[in-house]
Structure 1
Amino acid sequence: MSDPPPAFREDKPRGLRGGDLGDPEERPMSLPLAAVWALSITFLFVWFLAVLVAIRPSAQSDLVSTFGCQAVAYLLGLFGILRLHAPHASIRDFLGIRPTHLAFFPLAVLLGLALEAPIGALYDLIARRWPTPREGELELLNTLASGTAIEQATLGLVLVVLGPALEEVLFRGALTRPLLRRYGAPVVIVATAALFAIAHFQPQKFLPIGLFGLALGMVRYASGSILPAMLMHATYNAVPFVALLGASADVGAAEAVPTDAPRPFDLRQLLIDPASLPPAAVAGSTVLAALLLAAVFALAARSKTATQARHRDHA
Structure 2
Amino acid sequence: MSMFTFKVSKNKTHKKLLDANHRILQGEPWTVPWTAETILQVMFLWIASFWLVGSWIVPFIAHAAGVNKEALTYRGQALYSLLTDVVEGLTGIVILHRCLARFKPLPAHWFSFTLKGSWHIDVGLGCLLFPFVNCLSQINLKLLPLPNPVSASSVERSIMARDPVAMALYAIVVSVCAPIWEEIIFRGFLLPSLTRYMPVWCSVAMSSLAFAVVHFNLQRLLPLVFLGVVMGAVFVRSRNLLASMLLHSLWNGFVFLDLMK
1:47 pairs with 2:61: no
Query: How many residues matched?
Result: 218
- Kindly indicate whether the alpha-carbon contact (under 8 Å) linking 1:41 and 1:73 is maintained by their aligned counterparts in 2: no
* 1:94 paired residue among 107, 110, 113: 110
> What SS class does the counterpart of residue 175 from structure 1 fall into?
helix
- Kindly indicate whether the alpha-carbon contact (under 8 Å) linking 1:96 and 1:225 is maintained by their aligned counterparts in 2: yes
Output the amino acid matched with 1:40.
L
- Give the greater-gyration-radius structure (CA): 1
1:27 pairs with 2:39: no
* 1:228 paired residue among 236, 243, 258: 243
- Kindly indicate whether the alpha-carbon contact (under 8 Å) linking 1:196 and 1:213 is maintained by their aligned counterparts in 2: yes
CA deviation string 1:221-262 (max 9, x = no partner): 1111111111111111111222323x2xxxxxxxxxxxxxxx
**Hey, what's the Cα distance between the residues in 1 that align with 2:92 and 2:47?**
9
**Hey, what's the Cα distance between the residues in 2 that align with 1:153 and 1:75?**
21
Residue 154 of structure 1, CA deviation: 1.7
* 2:130 paired residue among 99, 110, 116: 116
**Hey, what's the Cα distance between the residues in 1 that align with 2:79 and 2:107?**
26
Partner of 2:156: 141
Partner of 2:171: 156
Residue 142 of structure 1, CA deviation: 2.6
**Hey, what's the Cα distance between the residues in 2 that align with 1:158 and 1:111?**
22
- Kindly indicate whether the alpha-carbon contact (under 8 Å) linking 1:38 and 1:199 is maintained by their aligned counterparts in 2: no
Distance 1:71 1:160, change over 3 A: same
Residue 159 of structure 1, CA deviation: 1.5
**Hey, what's the Cα distance between the residues in 1 that align with 2:50 and 2:139?**
29
Distance 1:73 1:150, change over 3 A: closer
Identity of paired residues, percent?
Answer: 19
* 1:125 paired residue among 125, 128, 139: 139
**Hey, what's the Cα distance between the residues in 2 that align with 1:34 and 1:132?**
34
1:200 pairs with 2:215: yes
TM-score normalised to structure 1 length: 0.59
1:167 pairs with 2:182: yes
Distance 1:121 1:172, change over 3 A: same
Give the CA RMSD over aligned residues: 3.1
CA deviation string 1:247-279 (max 9, x = no partner): 2xxxxxxxxxxxxxxxxxxxxxxxxxxxxxxxx
Q: Which stretch of structure 1 is more off in the superposition, 92-101 or 52-61?
A: 52-61
Structure 1, unaligned runs of 5 or more? 1-23, 248-315
Residue 201 of structure 1, CA deviation: 0.6
